[in-house]
Structure formats: structure tokens, C-alpha cells
Amino acid sequence: MQRPRRRRTLAVAIAAIAAVALLASCGDDSEGGSDTSDAAGGGAAVPEKLVIGYQHIPNGDLIVKNQGWLEEALPDTEIEWKLFDSGGAVNEAIVAGSIDIGLAGSSPVSRGLSNGLAYQVPWIHDVIGKAEALVVREDVGSVADLEGAKIATPLASTAHYSLLAALEREGLSAGDVEIIGAEPPDILAAWTRGDIDAAYLWNPNLASIVDEGGKILVTSEDLAEEGKTTYDLAVVRTEFAERYPDAVQAWIEQQDRAVQLYRSDEAAATAAIAEELGITAEEAAAQAADLIFLTAEEQAGADYLGGGLAENLFAAAQFNEELGEIDEVQPESAYVDAVLTEFAEGVGS
């Protein structure tokens, strides 16, 4: 989560928030599930409240929310969904203790683990393909043409990571362009006003910029072919996962249910996504098709939660350190230990 020296003030602020959160954890916290009471008797612990940080990304998380499946699976738990614009904001909410489970891209998760955030990864919402991309004005012919250009992206996001990778492969650095940090809705507004030359971001705002004349130059799918794969991941506070494993398992099972629905009835799945995003079913189907969804069984294998994801998070941390985006990389074991397979393995058992 840390930035280069020019943005160190945010890192200091986050550290201060972490200290406050640590002190607050000694008392009562009405927002998160970690300080609620266990179920009476010898049964499994059930949180009184579960706070979920989600984003407007056309994946299974929106299906679960739209269909109310988690509320059905945990009838004795109050479920609160909080909307965030980026993984960096989700990281800050985790630090503050204001959410229990959140969605963040693999780059912000890698940064969070490098910065010692106490969370774990039990689920992969999607493998990012064409759903994130570098979109430019019509007269831009190549990445090299962007030298000196104003490029907007959410800082510390997978899009930011991919932008840096796209620049690097063309021999450019962050210093050769003007990177403007902004959340996706603000990037769309800046594009409409003509304030920026390019942007690296994700759907649905990416699609809106394309509709307004933007041209896609590089996609995250292109970069994945060169080893810079990015994901949308679920993170759960370690304390919450240890105290309420059954609640996490129930959440994972609903996420797998959403993927299975997409596989078996794409129309029903994308209709739910469309309702959450306020777009047509056709638009939702097109945007969802740019992502890769994996079942629990697929995720538990060696390519993903079983090993490949941890390798990816460690490599992303090394890349960000080389570019000066973070101060240090944790031992590889820190990234391995943060990725959990037991919940995906437990689906259907």
C-alpha cells in the first residue's frame, strides 16, 4: 500500500489509522463481525454482523449480493454491503477494521501483504483479462506516443500495476508520463471533460470511455501473456477468518454458486449483474465475458490458490519494489501463508 516518496503522506496516514484501529480493537467495534458474540451453547460461532466491501465489477460478487444468497445462508447474521471504488480503498478499510471481507485486485493485495496487513485470500473472484485496459484518444498510435501524456488510473490498483508494466515494456517509466490518481467514476468524468489523454481502468467505466470515443491500446490480457497476470481477489481479516470460519465457508459457497450459475445460465447471471450496475443485460454479458471465472474446485488446484497465486503476489511485490512503489518485499512465505485453500476445498464436502 505504500507509495513512492512523493506520496508518503498517505502511507503515514494509513499507519496512524492502523494504530487507532489496534487500540480500538481492545474495546467494542460495532461495525465489524470480529467483536460480536458467539452462538450460545457448543455450536459454531456465528457473527452478529458481517460487513462486506464490494466493487462495481461484473463478477460473481454482484450476483451473490443481488440474489440475497448470503443473507439466506446466514439468517442469524446481519449482512452489510459497502461499496468501494478501488482495492486501495478496500485496503484502507481493512486497516481501519470497518469491513470483514473485501474485494481488491492482486496488486493492492500484494501491496497490503508487503505492508503487513492482517488479512488472507480465500477466493479468486476472477482472472482479469480484457476487462481492464489502457484506453487512449483516437490519435494515439502506440504506448510510446504517450510520453509526456496525462494518464489517469486508481493508484495502488491492478490497473496502476498494469499501466506501469505497459510503460516498462516500451522503455518508459512513470516519470516519463504524468500519472493522475483518481477513482474510476472520476476518471470517466475527466475523460469527458478532455482533462486526460489516456486512462488505465476497468469495466464498467472502461466501457463508458470506449463508448465516448476511446481506443483500447493494451489490455491486461495482453500483459498476462507476458507474465503480468492480475486478479480480483477476496480478502478476509485474519482475526475474522479464525473466529468465524463457518461464516467464511458460507460466503465462499455462495461465491461458487454464482460461478456455477454463470456457467449454467449466463442470462440469469448477467441479468443480476446488470441490475447491480444499472446497465443492460447485453452490456453486462459483454463485460463479464472479458473476465475469467473459476469454480472452487478449479481454484483449489496448484495453478491458483494451491500455489500459483502466491507466486504471482510475490512477483508483483518484487515488481512494485523495483519501480519504487513499495519500500520492501516480505519473505515469500508471507505471501504463501496468506493464501488459503481450505475454504475452496470445503465447498460441497
pLDDT digits (tens, 9 = 90+) for 131-158: 999 999 999 999 999 999 999 999 989 9
Query: Quick one: cell of 98?
Result: 470497518
Instruction: Give the pTM.
Output: 0.85
CA distances from 326 to 9, 51, 156, 235, 316 (A): 13, 28, 10, 20, 11
pLDDT tens for 281-332 read: 999 999 999 999 999 999 999 999 999 999 999 999 999 898 888 999 999 9
In CATH terms, the fold of domain 5-129+230-346 is D-Maltodextrin-Binding Protein; domain 2 (3.40.190)
CA distance 131 to 142: 20
Around 180, how many Cα atoms within 13 Å sit in the side-chain half-sphere? Answer: 18
The span from the CA of 270 to the CA of 291, in Å, is 13
Adjacent-strand bridge partners of 340: none
- Type and span of the H or E element at 206: helix 205-211
If phi > 0 it is left, if psi is from -120 to 50 it is alpha, else beta; for residue 150 that is beta
Strand partners, 84: 55
Per-residue pLDDT, averaged over 185-214, amounts to 97
Where do the structural domains in the chain lie, given as residue ranges? 5-129+230-346, 132-224
How many residues are recorded in the chain?
A: 349
Triad 279, 203, 296: Cα angle to 5°: 100
Whether the domain at 5-129+230-346 and the domain at 132-224 fall into the same CATH topology: yes
CATH number of the domain at 132-224, please? 3.40.190.10
